[in-house]
Structure 1
């Protein structure tokens, strides 16, 4: 009943309502450079591109080389994970080359026939460092595998810069610590604040009882690359009249579409949840210590003794005599055996 009430009170936001304050209609946005091609359209485009190349070869080749001059090679070259192999599979109508969501799936140069006079070449992804400033940009753009990154802070810092605090709290239903009183309220959250809040909310803790920032960073970055967290870039007609604050608001509004509003948790709930997770970790460590004590008791029961002299007198000393907790363990086991006999 509570969820039904929230659905009634909540007003669904549409893209048209978001773009209305900026004086732009979504239906009126027309860009001739952006077209969706079908399989037939794409094949016709390749034929039209190959025609002048084929004609140039035929004009400059001798009669015996004209047969080989008819064949045109079209290479699929570009960044990793942009759909080169998927385009080839679409043209063939079947799975000719392996595809995966992880960048770097294609590792070898592959040549395939399509038609009588066209070769398609599937190339491994190429990265052009001169066009991308840092490795963090390549990770956030899906050009490098997230699971193979070594430093998660720079990519998470980029996510915090591109996505507003309210959007992150809304999507993940978490409470990121507020900025200090002397800072503006729209201050970008630090990577530590975001990762700690997410890890505590999901229960991702390390063995030492601390938030597992590395695991949280990989989940957040995969959501960013897959589009669960939106980073909105306005169309060119809005770039001139939109400042940084307006861009953050636009990103927040688009993240609200189709998602359930996330209540901001108060500090008491956050503290209780933190204490509960820490108690669970303490219990796991205590269980591990008890197992270690059992192992040491078994070793001690075998009878490791050593002899020596002290004050001119011979004596025999147990190696575990300086470990009083073993005596407590033996006493506890003796009590348990006595209870069982009763």
Structure 2
């Protein structure tokens, strides 16, 4: 399989933001923390000696003991901030990081990077909430990009980096691809259900009131029956059911998580 056409463009976005950033906030999805870490971003940052903080977003969707376990493991490499815009978790810790960065005797620019739908915008908006003052673009910033002043010498690059660099199928499983754009939504939903059955089968009962079966296809069919999604002959509409599952995963309606 060839890489998606956007691969090089997305990598150039990552490089561009990294080249302008002194510090990188890599935003990941706390439900699938290791799958939403981006090795390309981390390796590019390492090559350029950029400081990386991992912002573990959506921690309100996982148990505290799971979050602590992940944090402990990831902090062997990078500092980790547990975050949730919905529950206002992590704001004080972000403030402390900004305060520490402001003690450096230089101008510090922060870039926010991560997969689509991990919540980069919510992190950026929380940071912006500290001060609403914006500055005109500094030398080296392209037109249209803004720097948000977070402290006298700390600025946020107000351009979230959307990094894909993967196949649609892989992105869909990360909740980073719109289900309607998928050529084979049923196939992807089955892979997702398989993951859920392996790791947190009871979440399907919690979300849909169905007893999960061992076979992902039978589970999907059972779910379609429960939702009463049918095609003209009265058979279950698997395509519509698959998209529903994928959308619920994106929205955090399925309370599953794994390492």
For normalisation by structure 2, the TM-score amounts to 0.51
Q: What is the aligned partner in structure 2 of residue 214 from structure 1? A: 239
* Contact 1:196/1:211 (<8 A) preserved: yes
Q: Which of 194, 197, 204 is the equivalent residue of 2:222?
A: 197
Identify the structure with the greater strand proportion.
Answer: 2
Unaligned 5+ segments in structure 2 are 1-64, 83-88, 133-143
Q: Which of 202, 205, 217 is the equivalent residue of 1:167?
A: 202
* Contact 1:140/1:225 (<8 A) preserved: no
Q: Which of 177, 180, 185 is the equivalent residue of 1:144?
A: 177
More contact order relative to length (CA 8 Å, sep ≥ 6): 2
Any residues of structure 2 matched to 1:1-150 within 5 Å, and which? 33=75, 34-36=80-82, 38-49=90-101, 51-52=103-104, 54=106, 71-93=107-129, 109-129=145-165, 134-150=167-183
> CA distance change for structure 1 residues 40 and 220 in 2, over 3 Å: closer, same or farther?
closer
Aligned equivalents of 1:149, 1:95: Cα separation in 2: 40
**Length, aligned pairs only:** 168
Aligned equivalents of 1:117, 1:207: Cα separation in 2: 63
Aligned equivalents of 1:94, 1:138: Cα separation in 2: 32
Deviation string for 1:38-71 (max 9, x for gaps)? 43431331343355471xxxxxxxxxxxxxxxx4
Deviation string for 1:50-95 (max 9, x for gaps)? 55471xxxxxxxxxxxxxxxx4322112222222221222233389
Aligned equivalents of 2:153, 2:131: Cα separation in 1: 21
Q: Which of 219, 239, 248 is the equivalent residue of 1:223?
A: 248
Q: CA RMSD in A?
A: 3.6
Q: Does 1:154 align with 2:179?
A: no
TM superposition shift of 1:207:
3.2
